[in-house]
Amino acid sequence: MQAPNHLQQQHSPVPGHIRQQMSAGMAPPGMHASSAMGPVPPGSAAQPNGSMHPQQRPLGSSQGHAMRQSRQPMPVQAPPHSAPHPSGSQQLPQQQQPPQHMAPPGPQQQPVTHTQRLSAMTEEVWLQIGTLSEVMGEHDRALAAYDNALRHNPYSQPALTQIANIHRSREEFDKAVEYFQRIINIDGTNGEIWGAIGNCYLMLDDLPKAYQAYQHALNSLEEAKEPKLWYGIGIMYDRYCSYDHAEEAFVGVLNMDPNFDKANEIYFRLGIIHKCQGKYAQSLECFNRILNDPPKPLTEADIWFQIGNVHELNSEFGMAKDAYDRVLRENPQHSKVLQQLATLYFRPNTSLSNIDAAVQLLSNAIEVDKDKAEAQTWYLLGRCYMVQRQYNKAYEAYQQAVYRDGNNANYWCSIGVLYYQINQYRDALDAYSRAIRIDPYLGEVWFDLGALYEACNNQVNDAIDAYSRAAELDRSNPVIEQRLDLLRRIQSTGQPGLGSANPPPTP
């Protein structure tokens, strides 16, 4: 299986711009050098509880690396240059059988007694029973057998490993971590087990602990070329919205093993990542690659939806419509696609602009399941009714939107515009104030507030303050600056007639 052109690499398959940053134990840049706690997850303040700090740089890096999201971590240490493992196996290697004894090896090896030999033999029998039970699909019986093995040797790593793996297969990740941790207490340098712990914490959405576990795995493994490990690391960075690092990890997996069993899922994730990065051509390349074989449980319609969304973001509205229409031919009641297609018709000044069609599509999307209709669908319907000047219907739609999502500043800003249009200025002020409390950095609501102050008793000073804040948040909008210049002239010359000749802008 060949990777798309933009994913093909000529260098080592291991993720790699941090390949030479191998200063293990170095505190993450951005922290005080006095911290001596070893690898710390991103966002940590060098506290033992692993609490996160929003700004971090790559572990072991001597240079800063700006973060695009306050939640994102910095790269874990990458392994050195080396070729991928020839087997390409996706299964974690089997644990090495430890010497059969009843306690961890101490400073002196005591002679093995007859009782210890008997316990070791009994342990081995229970391990074989457990293995046979797993083969037969009787996992409860296997767990009982492995528990019996642990009664004879509480430090049996094969028994602990198999119990943990059974719990992980059942998605009982807390229990799996408990047994994996018992192995780490015996052998803290077991990189494969650290990687398994990282995967469990990832499934529990405990990203700081997942980061710590993956860092320990990379520090412990001599050659960290395990695709499954880097697959987990890629997902972790994806959830942190650290897209560059996620991309590097996923590309590393494909280079290590082009036939990785989750390769198509990786291409889907890369398509989403490239879309978020604005790399639309690369995103389409990934989606088109898996169009005929999407990763389960996704379907071909799901991939067409993503293709349509990429075209829409790239202002290729005709191609976006074609992709959405493909989905609707297969599923005419796909509410998300109905919403997206309505968004295309709602856009002004395009060849597809059609408010009536947008209203019909949004109404259809709501009728699919009225109780579960998304807040955004109701909000867009309200916006359409505003264009049609059907203010009562717009009000009802906005009410449904804020009922489902009352902490969306855009929704309250639009409600303020509705009240402004029907001259209910006090209600408009209340709505704008609520939007500002939710998000004081939304430039649009400050601009609308300035227009309200102008319209309401010509409050020039308050209007100037609101427009000034809007200008700070949106420096590329010339309308704001033009209005500010006009109001400042009115303020300095005392000529209110200027304002009458130039009425406030409509929000």
8 Å CB contact between 320 and 346 = no
pLDDT for residue 105: 53
Burial label, 297 (beta-carbon count in 10 A; 0-12, 13-18, 19+): exposed
What are 15's two structure tokens?
């993720």
pLDDT for residue 243: 94
pLDDT for residue 61: 38
8 Å CB contact between 28 and 40 = yes
Query: Which has the closest alpha carbon to 235: 214, 257, 260?
Result: 214
Angle (CA) 290-253-201 rounded to 5° is 100
pLDDT for residue 507: 65
Residue 123 zone, left/alpha/beta (φ > 0; ψ -120 to 50; rest) = alpha
What are 102's two structure tokens?
């009843």
Contacts of 104 (CB under 8 A, 6+ apart): 155, 186
Give the CB-side neighbour count of residue 143, counting CA atoms within 13 A: 14
What's the CA dihedral at 325, 330, 331, 336 to 10 degrees? -40
Query: pLDDT (tens digit, 9 = 90+) per residue, 154-204?
Result: 999 999 999 999 999 999 999 999 999 999 999 999 999 999 999 999 999
What are 52's two structure tokens?
């996160």
Spatial distance between the Cα atoms of 15 and 13, rounded to a whole number of angstroms: 6
Q: How far from 346 is each of 244, 360, 386, CA to CA, in Å? A: 33, 11, 12
Q: How far from 358 is each of 19, 348, 414, CA to CA, in Å? A: 51, 12, 18
> At 120, which amino acid appears?
A
pLDDT for residue 229: 93
8 Å CB contact between 414 and 383 = yes
pLDDT for residue 196: 95
- Within 334-390, where are the H helices? 335-346, 355-368, 375-387
pLDDT for residue 458: 76
Q: Is 54 helix (H, G, I), strand (E, B) or coil?
A: coil
8 Å CB contact between 164 and 186 = no
pLDDT for residue 272: 97
pLDDT for residue 108: 60
8 Å CB contact between 289 and 303 = no
Return the number of other C-beta atoms located less than 10 Å from residue 157's C-beta: 18
Contacts of 322 (CB under 8 A, 6+ apart): 308
Query: Which has the closest alpha carbon to 330: 306, 286, 300, 291?
Result: 300
Backbone angles phi, psi at 314, to 5 degrees: -90, 15
**Each residue's pLDDT expressed in tens, for the chain with a length of 507 residues:** 455 555 554 444 556 543 333 334 333 333 333 333 333 333 333 333 333 333 333 333 333 333 333 344 444 444 433 333 333 333 333 334 444 444 455 556 667 788 888 888 999 999 999 999 999 999 999 999 999 999 999 999 999 999 999 999 999 999 999 999 999 999 999 999 999 999 999 999 999 999 999 999 999 988 878 899 999 999 999 999 999 999 999 999 999 999 999 999 999 999 999 999 999 999 999 999 999 999 999 999 999 999 999 999 999 999 999 999 999 999 999 999 999 999 999 999 888 999 999 999 999 999 988 878 899 999 999 999 999 999 999 999 999 999 999 999 999 999 999 999 999 999 999 999 999 999 999 999 999 999 999 888 778 889 999 999 999 998 888 889 888 988 888 888 766 555 554 566 666
Spatial distance between the Cα atoms of 262 and 409, rounded to a whole number of angstroms: 39
Spatial distance between the Cα atoms of 497 and 66, rounded to a whole number of angstroms: 50
8 Å CB contact between 52 and 186 = no
8 Å CB contact between 440 and 446 = no
